[in-house]
Amino acid sequence: MDKPIRVLHVVVNMNRGGAETLIMNIFRNIDRSKVQFDFLTCKEGAFDSEIQDLGGKIHRIPYIDEVGHFGYIKSLNQFFSNHHDYTIVHSHLNRMSGFVVRAAKKVGIQYCISHSHNTGGEGGILAKGYKWYSGLYIPSNSDYTFACSEAAAKWLFGSKANQAKLLNNGIEPETFSYSAEVRMLKRKELGLTEDQLVIGHVGRFTKQKNHKFLIEIFAEFVKRRPDSILLLCGDGVLRKDIEKRVSELSLQENVKFLGVRSDINQLLQAFDLFLFPSLHEGLPLTLIEAQAAGIPCLISDMITNEVDLGLGLMEFLQLTNKDIWVNELVKFKVNKIERQTSKLKMLRDSGYDIKNTAKWLQDFYISNSR
């Protein structure tokens, strides 16, 4: 039997972020006798042991923040000259993919893919300038460009956006399907009663996710519904700042920091409402998951409307006006009947079933490595 094609995915680390979760969803659902994933990372990640269980190799090089620009470029060049036997390199670093595909092309790697997962970059002026410089190498060194949404394609590939292939952020819909039992179980585990209004958010603590705004809205809302609870799932550089803000507003009783979780599909059952005031997003996987779980979502109008799968669960609100958000929360009534009628078929029909995403990508890899 032929050996599987080995595809190298390039990420900073394999933690539970949106892009990484998508890659793992695909990895679990492809035919691994035909296509196998390996990873080039810079740091340890939560998925590392599962990757190895699924037959993937993890290579590691130091990141820029440890070795500087020249050290990083040298590590990349060295890595690819030792591993030029990959046919396909698939980079998920947004603008920073430029340096990766340039190094891969230098040693003659046949197919390089640059994949856009966002519509904005992190960091100050220097970091953004550096990423912009790296991004200049994407067009000439990428055989294909991928994006999670049209907005993400425009952001990274500019005038060439229409050449990018859209790869849906697919999920396993049935694992998110509403269950009253799971809801009760999770609420009990978190010490919440059945009639408390539970607002949830899933995302890294970074500027992009706009937690500060989220806390300010919630602080206003709690004055009207003192028993409501905010659950924050995730971790990140700004977590300490947000914890401090929660203390300043005396919200410790109402806000729970749950850290990085591997049971998001079950935790979502405990939410009544999903709040997502991001400053920019590619196409957030968590909002696809929330729709699969039947949760109404109040989200920022900075997020592409491609995320709305037409299930009647999305409300886009302006970030310029906190009162609109508070008023929407005040108006909100929990509708359990709605939650029970599963919308999984509609979700599948709109192309977000991971089995379809995985099959398409598998065929794409195979046809390009013959």
162-217 pLDDT, tens per residue? 999 999 988 998 899 888 899 999 999 999 998 899 999 999 999 999 999 999 99
Q: Supply the pLDDT for residue 350.
A: 85
Task: Give the C-alpha separation, 209 to 234, whole Å.
Answer: 11
pLDDT at 339 over 90: no
User: Which residues does 45 contact at the CB level (< 8 Å), separation at least 6?
Assistant: 11, 13, 14, 15, 20
User: Which residues does 138 contact at the CB level (< 8 Å), separation at least 6?
Assistant: 95, 97, 98, 101, 114, 145, 156, 157
The average confidence (pLDDT) of the chain is: 93
Q: Where in the chain is the domain with CATH 3.40.50.2000?
A: 5-170+353-367, 173-349
Which one of 3.40.50.2000, 3.40.50.720, 3.40.50.800, 3.40.50.1820 gives the CATH number of domain 173-349? 3.40.50.2000
Mean local confidence (pLDDT), 217-232: 96
Q: What is the CATH number of domain 5-170+353-367?
A: 3.40.50.2000
**Helices assigned H by DSSP within the chain:** 18-29, 48-53, 64-82, 97-106, 125-135, 138-141, 150-157, 180-189, 211-222, 239-248, 264-270, 285-292, 322-331, 336-340, 344-349, 354-367
**Helices assigned H by DSSP within 249-303:** 264-270, 285-292
**pLDDT (tens digit per residue) in 76-127:** 999 999 999 999 999 999 999 999 999 999 999 999 999 999 888 778 888 8
User: Which residues does 85 contact at the CB level (< 8 Å), separation at least 6?
Assistant: none
pLDDT at 341 over 60: no
- Residue 323 has a CB neighbour count (10 Å cut-off) of 9
User: Which residues does 346 contact at the CB level (< 8 Å), separation at least 6?
Assistant: 309, 310, 311
